């Protein structure tokens, strides 16, 4: 991904680096909202709301977050059900719909820069609904026992009956086999 798609002031980038994991990479990042679009954001002493898209997740950082207040919001590509980019007089509006157990939500990023918005949309459309390997962030399927890219074990199998187990299970639901950390990764 081109470096120019990352629109971050160096001081903001430094703060964001602290929440980025090892092997996680920022692909697209930009300030959004009318305020950010009106002013030349890079020369301002204040920070604006930011949308960050990495190879692992979508991160939303409100301007308060940069001042040490307010929570970071993020979600994986797995929960994305729709992505849309609408043209506006000032930039574009990026819409991301998510579906989780706690409900559906539509995230709206108004006044997003056009080129970055287009790149983000194309990437998210490709990745939406996909689960990623927790180690290398490449797409995997729910039934995989191993990651085909980095060889990480994704699930354990029951030592008694051989069925695949989720990592937070404490008993095998197929045969009733128990053991310490039965579903844990080894
Ligand atoms: Zn992997
Ligand atoms: Zn079993």
Domains of the chain: 3-132 (2.30.29.30)
CA of 152 to the centre of ligand 1 (A): 6
Digit-coded pLDDT (tens) for 106-116: 999 999 999 99
pTM: 0.85
Q: What Å distances lie between residue 37 and 50, 63, 89, 106, 142, CA to CA?
A: 12, 14, 11, 21, 40
Which pLDDT band, with edges at 50, 70 and 90, does 37 fall under? confident
Task: Say if residue 103's pLDDT is above 60.
Answer: yes
Q: Is 24 helix (H, G, I), strand (E, B) or coil?
A: coil
Neighbouring residues of 104: CB distance < 8 A, sequence distance ≥ 6: 81, 97, 98
- For the chain, the straight-line distance linking the first and the last C-alpha, in angstroms and rounded, comes to 34
Of the listed ligands, the closest to the CA of 150 is: 1
Q: What is the mean pLDDT of the chain?
A: 91
How many Å lie between the centroid of ligand 1 and the Cα of residue 136? 4
């Amino acid at each position: 991904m081109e470096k120019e798609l990352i629109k971050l002031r160096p001081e903001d980038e430094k703060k964001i680096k602290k929440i980025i994991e090892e092997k996680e990479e920022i692909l697209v990042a930009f300030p959004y909202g009318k305020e950010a679009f009106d002013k030349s954001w890079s020369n301002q002493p204040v920070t604006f709301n930011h949308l960050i898209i990495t190879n692992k997740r979508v991160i939303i950082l409100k301007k308060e977050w940069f001042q040490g207040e307010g929570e970071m919001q993020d979600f994986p590509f797995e929960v994305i059900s729709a992505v849309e980019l609408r043209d506006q007089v000032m930039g574009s509006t990026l819409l991301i719909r998510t579906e989780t157990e706690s409900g559906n939500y539509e995230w709206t990023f108004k006044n997003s820069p056009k080129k970055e918005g287009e790149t983000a949309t194309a990437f998210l459309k490709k990745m939406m609904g996909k689960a990623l390997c927790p180690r290398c962030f490449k797409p995997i399927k729910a039934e995989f026992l191993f990651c085909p890219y980095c060889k990480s074990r994704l699930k354990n199998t029951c030592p008694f009956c051989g069925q695949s187990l989720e990592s937070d299970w404490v008993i095998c639901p197929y045969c009733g086999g128990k053991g310490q950390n039965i579903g844990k990764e080894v």
